[in-house]
Structure 1
């Protein structure tokens, strides 16, 4: 049978580490799955039910490499990509940091920075920033199914998918093609793929112990082909994790079960996947770090910056006041063991239960026609109890009242005398206030795609429908007694509080039900005018309706029952040209969209309906070019990008406007260059490095936006020989600002110093049935600041041009630090 060069390349060079199994021998670099070119014999690129298949919904589903160097690298890019891309191999996931969550798994990729790891990798909620785009401004998918919170499309790294459920991760730094689906086709895509099934029976049992009294137990079973079931294959995994955490009084615990079955049914393939996760942790829901104090002294680490943003001294979290959290407890402060404080760990517990399941049917109709159907659902329940940061109810103060038979009300701030039957009394002087928070949602969806392959290319058309329901509340509690604490304003007979709810709801911050109905329709044509060239124009239509029905809406604390709909047509066009079998060039023009959050409804203004009608979704227009080359001993890729964000959503700051309404306030402009290189100087040794320069400036102020590092870099090596594996990697995160520019013409505050962290891992196979390994995280024990939550409390101010600006740092600024050096010992039994 005659085939063209492109098809031969896809078969002969597929597939990199994506095809590696967890129990594969590490003696050599991961090898492509054997295949022939005959019809009916497939590579992993065609394996139905695997991460990589011909019915892919995104280009990330197939990673094509052209050399052993690219295959052996921990991070690589596909020769067929149409946008900047970094694929993280299963070998990297399986052998570096066993506790890592899906955010820390992508830490080494260009343009990515990670925060929230202070309790140890995987022991707390982390956040990833991609090119300055924050969590919620890019898609996260699992087997090409988007998932996210329902109030805004953010994610929780310790929920849903621990690393034992992940085969590979691909970071696409762009919106993708029209077939890339998600709630935020805007700043890029973090695509995870489920653990793959294998043809051979096997598995492993794994135990991991380490610092902070940490223990992880894992088990994996691969059924191999079950001939009595037509060649069906099943994989089952489970994980148990517990740790005291790196921070004081911040223990964590989680349990996960995962299963997937791939069942051939004639010319069809049925895949069933389900995972369940339960975890709890102790962490303040209010505090965002450890306070450092008010050391605004010239020459210390907490002075301001000059007009150019150059640090006189950048913030490092040193020289903290003796009475601050860091001064009292050190940089490992998390919570306390003092029941008289809001930071008492038993007052600050979060329990989460999540599940994610799908049923997928892939059908080959012959004649070039095929279809992919996915029905799915996932659920999330977050039940949090927290102290609210206030250590006590002050006795006898004017805002403390009692209603017979003794219910205490606090928080009244209106003028005049409270209406009967309320009267002023002395409240308890030592009780700790707090609250119970619930966020519970269930999402149902369907994705269908019809494909037609013919001599000139491929046509893909399809659609996505999703429905979600959510219940959320915050109820005030006296954490000392567990009884309700009536801390909210209520209708007390005064004009100032006439619009407030009755006193019976004075313990409710909000009680809210919301939902969404959304669908997206897409079509694209992957056109091959000649061998080696692929041009893919496409279009997608987005229709999103969000509704809120609340007894008391969040922030507004008033009833609401309304909805709003946003629509947008998004064009796409990509190109990939391969002049040789191991070298490609690509380009992308694409528009992305970010649907307004639930917070768009948080207002009692009579203009809310008009504001919602006028509010436009944030959109991004992406221009990207790049090249990928996979040589015999060197592989590299380089890209450049310009991304213009329009209709940025924020709070109106114009004099006289209603600041409770969200409006479109301007633009953000992103641009930068990125590159990664892998070198194999000798057999078994792979060196890798990458770097990025990322500019993300407000179109209004011309200043770099907050939490967007100016640069990133990473490097390291992997050596494999005869079952022995050793690796080291180092990640550098450049300078960034923790807060947005205030408009001050003389200075900008809260610049964070550059920081870096190193990770070492070593393992040895013994008789191919046993493996022992060790991992060292934060090798050089850096305690650098990674994030700051600012406070103006106690901060100095300066008047410039008649306007007052904060000119120094606050007493209650909160700092997050890198966790201390830690060790993990890993033992596995394979069968």
Structure 2
């Protein structure tokens, strides 16, 4: 069956265009045992997820209409647990979402940070208990992230109009999976696809809080005068007052991609996107307080024992003190309109500008050989103003005492704050050589990347805009500790720092096929990473520094995929991953820093995973189980007499669990889906579940399509979790977050050939549940057990994040 015939049949059957084939336009087909068509996205060069791409999620193979119609699915060829998010879901139910919110339905994933409204604030995703920075995020198989550690900003680079699909790989992948944190998994985004036919659309989205998103898309189609070149251009503007008080946001994005055939054997892809946004949010405060100035939190419920055997104390964010943020402003607290306070909205603005571009040349060399070469560049500039607690210091005067010769001159009534800047530029190259022959495939390649970063933080008098001299300085008493600090002239600078890295990774893998239905892929990757810091005033330590450190590691991989039937496969994975120590490893003036860096080992994981994927006529299902052992966990030394300014390897964490996804098509046009996970993530040392790792997740919903009408609903459940790490208190485990769920409803109708009208309801049942807590020990009660003092209650400054209130978005599109 020809691809064009296949697509026509899908449309005639009121099914979406192949959602899980994602960015590819050309597809191959074969008839599966159940009479359905087996489809793959592997054969269209330049569309990001094709046969020459890098990750295990690059080739999505489906074996039934049920799998194709579901919002989430897994490929029949996967070698690790996987969830591919369809373009249909992205396009129809999450119009303002960032890339973390696009994966919210997937098993084992939880999201925080959406309190200002979906798409109107930076979010963080947790995958199986692994935090942002402990897994890779890629765009067209190119890893990206911050340069102090590989964390990410969900609204900074890629709004959803630049994303064709997202694939969550819950594992390190094969040897060819690149990134600094091939450790806890991979979130792989793919760029908007080019199409063979000319067309496009203009879209307007309006909602509460004076929210508006405008988008435009243009597809050139195949330009025969340019050899069949295809181009896609998109743009977006966004603005909103935000769900939180005095927390407006605005942004704009431009995106373009061209896929250019060069002769019969080469394809050049050129992609570039630029993004600029600003928002008003405190860089210091992490939520709304609930306690008063004289006592901690009152609104909690006590229960018997939790899953880890610890007494439960669950905070609800209710019964808050009248003087707290929640008591005064409610759960929508963000900032204020009072210029005498640090949370005055004009004192708290962040501006970000980013860009991301690449050139990719794919070449078919003949005789089974092919090459893929990519050169890329991305940049990030973050300029932040934030109010801060404390007293403005205008300078120094007086003789003081011999122990402290300088006397600070303060200015009462003025508001303290700071300016923070983080600016980096990353350049990289990825190259690979592929060879296909009768027994399988060989892939050899390498990755080189260089980054330069400049960062500073300067204290300010926010009331006047003048400098404020609040940092530690050499007070002149002659001690070694004081002599290591900068002079009074630099007391307004918390840090001014240049850093860089140069890294390369070399990989090789051999896909062996003893029989057509079995692929066994051993592989190996070598990592070589050098990080350097050159700072006049280094962060935290406040001393000068000029040093570097190199970490290396060889990582083995072994994966297998067996297609027991054309629509039923089994897979297994053994893989090692690693996390390179981040910039905070250098934040010490200790004379032992060099020795500590030499001894500091990268965090590593050893992954054991098995699973199965079945795409039946009416039912599609995949199930997996995993055990992941983390070694060389990096943290602060707690041994008596240890230098706590140094980072060291402190122990192990063990992750294990089961996950599954199910899709059902009882009648043509209706797809039901559900998924769930049980996720164990515990410290081997303490036996306690680690912070921000839900014990389980679940999701369920449906999608109905009929002749241009689309109706969907989904509900995501996030199980109980702890907001903070276990302190060791044998009597009490504090900061347990209650389980919560959030739903989304969407409906749309095509009107004729050129108009579409839709509505989306987010947080359908208006849950205002707590999703994150930033703890404070200030004013908290304590207890002494075996001579050790522990916090034994809640602090006055504990801060809460809540789900945003229910919202309605109206979406109108004109197509051409």
**TM class by smaller structure:** over 0.9
What SS class does the counterpart of residue 494 from structure 1 fall into?
coil
Equivalent residue pairs, number: 798
Equivalent residue for 2:776?
791
Equivalent residue for 2:418?
435
Deviation, 1:309, is 4.7
Alignment of 1:30-69 (within 5 A): 30-31=17-18, 44-69=41-66
8 Å Cα contact 1:296-1:302 kept in structure 2: no
Deviation, 1:225, is 0.2
Between the aligned partners of 1:13 and 1:65, the Cα distance in structure 2 is 17
Equivalent residue for 2:459?
476
Correspondence 1:189 to 2:186: yes
8 Å Cα contact 1:375-1:445 kept in structure 2: yes
Q: CA RMSD in A?
A: 2.3
Deviation, 1:297, is 9.1
Alignment of 1:169-208 (within 5 A): 169-208=166-205
Equivalent residue for 1:242?
239
Between the aligned partners of 1:311 and 1:767, the Cα distance in structure 2 is 60
Equivalent residue for 1:349?
349
* Structure 2 unaligned residues grouped into runs of 5+: 31-38
- Which of 151, 158, 161 is the matching residue for 1:161? 158
Equivalent residue for 2:660?
675
- Which of 780, 805, 808 is the matching residue for 2:765? 780
- Which of 259, 263, 269 is the matching residue for 1:271? 269
Equivalent residue for 2:336?
336
- In structure 2, the CA distance between the partners of 1:299 and 1:194, relative to structure 1 (3 Å rule), is closer
Between the aligned partners of 1:384 and 1:298, the Cα distance in structure 2 is 31
What SS class does the counterpart of residue 635 from structure 1 fall into?
strand
Correspondence 1:447 to 2:434: no
- Which of 584, 596, 610 is the matching residue for 1:625? 610
Between the aligned partners of 1:272 and 1:26, the Cα distance in structure 2 is 36
What SS class does the counterpart of residue 500 from structure 2 fall into?
strand
Alignment of 1:556-575 (within 5 A): 556-575=541-560
Equivalent residue for 2:538?
553
Q: C-alpha offsets along residues 442-467 of structure 1, whole Å, 9 cap, x if unaligned?
A: 00000001000111111000000000
- Which of 593, 604, 611 is the matching residue for 1:608? 593
8 Å Cα contact 1:302-1:809 kept in structure 2: no
8 Å Cα contact 1:516-1:544 kept in structure 2: yes
- In structure 2, the CA distance between the partners of 1:342 and 1:304, relative to structure 1 (3 Å rule), is farther
Equivalent residue for 2:728?
743
8 Å Cα contact 1:640-1:671 kept in structure 2: yes
Deviation, 1:802, is 1.6
Equivalent residue for 2:625?
640
Alignment of 1:500-511 (within 5 A): 500-511=485-496
- In structure 2, the CA distance between the partners of 1:355 and 1:440, relative to structure 1 (3 Å rule), is same
Q: C-alpha offsets along residues 8-47 of structure 1, whole Å, 9 cap, x if unaligned?
A: 9xx9899999xx9xxx999423247675689xxx974210
Deviating beyond 2 angstroms after TM superposition, the runs of 4 or more aligned structure 1 residues are 11-17, 24-38, 294-300, 302-313, 399-404, 414-419, 422-425, 495-499
Equivalent residue for 2:375?
375
8 Å Cα contact 1:434-1:476 kept in structure 2: yes
What SS class does the counterpart of residue 712 from structure 2 fall into?
strand
Between the aligned partners of 2:336 and 2:318, the Cα distance in structure 1 is 21
- Which of 709, 728, 745 is the matching residue for 1:724? 709
Alignment of 1:185-584 (within 5 A): 185-266=182-263, 267-293=265-291, 300-301=299-300, 309=309, 312-390=312-390, 392-393=391-392, 402=396, 416=402, 419=405, 425=409, 427-495=410-478, 497-584=482-569
Between the aligned partners of 1:29 and 1:256, the Cα distance in structure 2 is 27
* Structure 1 unaligned residues grouped into runs of 5+: 1-7, 394-398, 405-411
Between the aligned partners of 2:66 and 2:673, the Cα distance in structure 1 is 10
What SS class does the counterpart of residue 300 from structure 2 fall into?
coil
What SS class does the counterpart of residue 263 from structure 1 fall into?
strand
Equivalent residue for 2:36?
none
Between the aligned partners of 2:7 and 2:653, the Cα distance in structure 1 is 36
What SS class does the counterpart of residue 597 from structure 2 fall into?
helix
8 Å Cα contact 2:182-2:578 kept in structure 1: yes
- In structure 2, the CA distance between the partners of 1:402 and 1:336, relative to structure 1 (3 Å rule), is same
Deviation, 1:310, is 5.2
What SS class does the counterpart of residue 51 from structure 2 fall into?
coil
- Which of 564, 575, 578 is the matching residue for 1:590? 575
8 Å Cα contact 1:474-1:511 kept in structure 2: yes
Q: C-alpha offsets along residues 452-500 of structure 1, whole Å, 9 cap, x if unaligned?
A: 0111111000000000000000001000000111111212212463322
Q: C-alpha offsets along residues 217-270 of structure 1, whole Å, 9 cap, x if unaligned?
A: 000000000000000000000000000000000000000000000000011000
- In structure 2, the CA distance between the partners of 1:133 and 1:715, relative to structure 1 (3 Å rule), is same
- In structure 2, the CA distance between the partners of 1:339 and 1:222, relative to structure 1 (3 Å rule), is same
Correspondence 1:698 to 2:683: yes
8 Å Cα contact 1:211-1:824 kept in structure 2: yes
Between the aligned partners of 2:305 and 2:672, the Cα distance in structure 1 is 40
- In structure 2, the CA distance between the partners of 1:25 and 1:449, relative to structure 1 (3 Å rule), is farther
